[in-house]
Amino acid sequence: MRARLSLQDLPSLEYLAVACRLEPEIDAGLARFEETHSRANVALRFLLNQDASAEHLRVRAEEERQMQAGLLRAALMEYVGMEDCLPGDLRRMGLPGPALRINDTGSAMLVLLRELRHVHVHVGQTRFERREQTAVFHVPNREVLEVTLPVLTIPRADLEQLRDSRHSSRYHADELAAAIDWLDVAQGHWGIRLVVQAAINDYARRILAVHGAG
């Protein structure tokens, strides 16, 4: 039986999340799930500098792309690691299973990033498309602040590799195509980093909804 991919209730990601972290309420609830919580936080740490320059990353200019790709791979691996650690947390806490896996959610965002992890572990030659974009921050009682930020996106040709991944046959072709279209648009606003950050928070939120937030 093929898994379904739902594009319902996916974030538009048109607005930039300033802090690269778990949302406060999610962070407090997930802290009980120690190993899962740790994986989420480590993934976000990798994302924090994923779009940084060679100077900021303290590498040579010619190593910038490799570092950016490596940080994305690492973040995706830790994101998928959340579902690997969840069963152990449930056993330790004496909570019933089965543990909520990413594919169980049916979310096109969560599932597609899981598949992207498989592609990027084995294909390390991604050349991000880069542009500069101005972010406008409205700070209370202060002047409007404008900051120019880098936006790194995965080329559409690389996203198309998801159609040929070893797990692509698990999904309906039309739903997979629609999910790829969504990811391409979503990352176009503020980069792939923000999409992965949103997925980590969303999966954590769903874990709390299924296995108890209290």
- How far apart are alpha carbons 177 and 181 in whole angstroms? 6
* Three-class secondary structure of residue 208 per DSSP: helix
Contact by Cβ (8 Å): 18, 193: no
Looking at this protein, which amino acid is placed at residue 151?
A: V
Reading the block at residue 135, the tokens are: 């972010």
pLDDT, position 89: 97
Cβ 64 vs Cβ 53: under 8 Å: yes
Place of tokens 């176009």: 188
DSSP 80-141: HHHHHHHHHHHHHHT--S----HHHH-BHHHHHHHHHHHHHHH------EEEEEEEEE--TT
**Tens-digit pLDDT profile for the chain (214 aa)?**
677 789 888 888 887 776 789 999 999 999 999 999 999 999 999 998 888 877 888 889 878 888 898 899 999 999 999 999 999 999 999 999 899 999 999 999 999 999 998 776 554 556 788 888 877 766 666 666 677 888 899 999 889 888 877 777 888 889 999 999 999 999 999 999 999 999 999 999 999 999 985 5
Domain ranges within the chain, ordered by starting residue? 24-125+156-211
Let me know: does 194 contact 13? Beta carbons within 8 Å. Answer: yes
pLDDT given for residue 106 in this prediction? 93
**How many CA atoms lie within 13 Å of 87's alpha carbon, on the beta-carbon side?**
5
Contact 86, 100 (CB under 8 A): yes
Stated pTM of the model: 0.91
Cβ(161)–Cβ(119) below 8 Å: yes
Closest by CA position to 185, among listed 156, 157, 164? 156
171 by DSSP, 3-state: which? Answer: strand
